[in-house]
């Protein structure tokens, strides 16, 4: 009898622990909640790592949320908060909301991996067709080469469909950083590789792929890691752009007008 009571208490405690675990506490946005163009920040709000409303996110909210969800150190969160708060139309504000990130050409840019350009439609909402193009370049594993190939393809497609297509130097840096970041956070930040299924799951469900075996890294993610991996994506990007331009010179396809820097 006593043993039975012990087991029922143990089962109840385990159930409470599971239901309170934010990795298991996924709920999509409700009426009055806002989301934006970043699949990861939307995901963190859906788990409650960030305010579920998506609103009034302070530097501390972001630092705590990114630490708890994906082991970001405080430095990188402060670095990213500096960009985010600049999207709040209110000058000198101390918070931002996820929908502020959608303001076109502040941070939000053309040629997203999973969204259409602002000229074409809702640049903040996941678009399956855009994402299908992106993932058609990935093998089972996304790496620097295949990640970059999808960036360049999305640039070409968006440029062809959007007479107002533009990409600032900051926008280009964000594009490269976003690919470096998603590979590093969902996969291995050292080899810069990730299982494609984890990426598809997060983008398509705006949910962390714990069901597929993903776990928060035990190693902190730092600004140096992000910028180091961004540089590797940039190198590959310049290499692929160069060979595209060489093909163009010898009668291949067009990439005219695209911003590119030989660094």
Residues that bind ligand HEM (CB under 6 A): 37-41, 70, 80, 83-84, 101, 107-109, 112-115, 174, 178, 181-182, 185
For tokens 């985010």, name the residue.
84
> What is the nearest approach in angstroms of ligand HEM to the Cβ of residue 5?
44
Q: State the Cα–Cα distance between residues 27 and 152, nearest whole angstrom.
A: 34
**Residue 145 vs 245, nearer CB to ligand HEM:** 145
> What is the nearest approach in angstroms of ligand HEM to the Cβ of residue 100?
9
**Residue 95 vs 182, nearer CB to ligand HEM:** 182
**Residue 14 vs 212, nearer CB to ligand HEM:** 212
**Residue 98 vs 241, nearer CB to ligand HEM:** 98
> What is the nearest approach in angstroms of ligand HEM to the Cβ of residue 95?
12
Residue showing the smallest CB distance to ligand HEM in the complex? 38
Is 258 in contact with 167 (CB distance < 8 Å)?
yes
> What is the nearest approach in angstroms of ligand HEM to the Cβ of residue 214?
12
**Residue 80 vs 233, nearer CB to ligand HEM:** 80
> What is the nearest approach in angstroms of ligand HEM to the Cβ of residue 239?
21
């Amino acid at each position: 009898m006593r043993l039975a009571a012990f087991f029922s208490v143990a089962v109840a405690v385990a159930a409470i622990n599971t239901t309170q675990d934010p990795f298991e506490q996924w709920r999509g946005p409700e009426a009055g909640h806002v989301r934006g163009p970043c699949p990861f920040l939307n995901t963190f709000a859906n788990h409650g790592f960030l305010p579920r409303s998506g609103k009034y996110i302070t530097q501390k909210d972001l630092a705590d949320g990114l630490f708890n969800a994906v082991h970001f150190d405080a430095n990188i969160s402060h670095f990213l908060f500096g960009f985010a708060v600049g999207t709040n139309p209110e000058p000198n504000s101390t918070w931002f909301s996820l929908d502020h990130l959608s303001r076109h050409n502040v941070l939000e840019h053309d040629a997203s991996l999973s969204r259409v350009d602002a000229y074409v439609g809702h640049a903040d909402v996941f678009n399956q067709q855009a994402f299908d193009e992106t993932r058609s370049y990935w093998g089972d594993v996304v790496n620097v080469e295949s990640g970059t190939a999808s960036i360049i393809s999305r640039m070409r497609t968006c440029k062809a469909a959007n007479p107002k297509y533009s990409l600032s130097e900051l926008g280009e840096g964000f594009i490269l950083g976003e690919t470096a970041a998603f590979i590093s956070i969902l996969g291995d930040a050292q080899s810069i590789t990730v299982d494609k299924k984890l990426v598809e799951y997060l983008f398509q469900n705006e949910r962390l792929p714990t069901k597929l075996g993903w776990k928060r890294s035990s190693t902190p993610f730092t600004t140096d890691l992000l910028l180091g991996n961004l540089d590797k994506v940039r190198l590959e990007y310049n290499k692929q752009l160069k060979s595209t331009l060489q093909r163009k010179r010898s009668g291949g396809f067009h990439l005219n007008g695209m911003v590119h820097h030989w660094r």
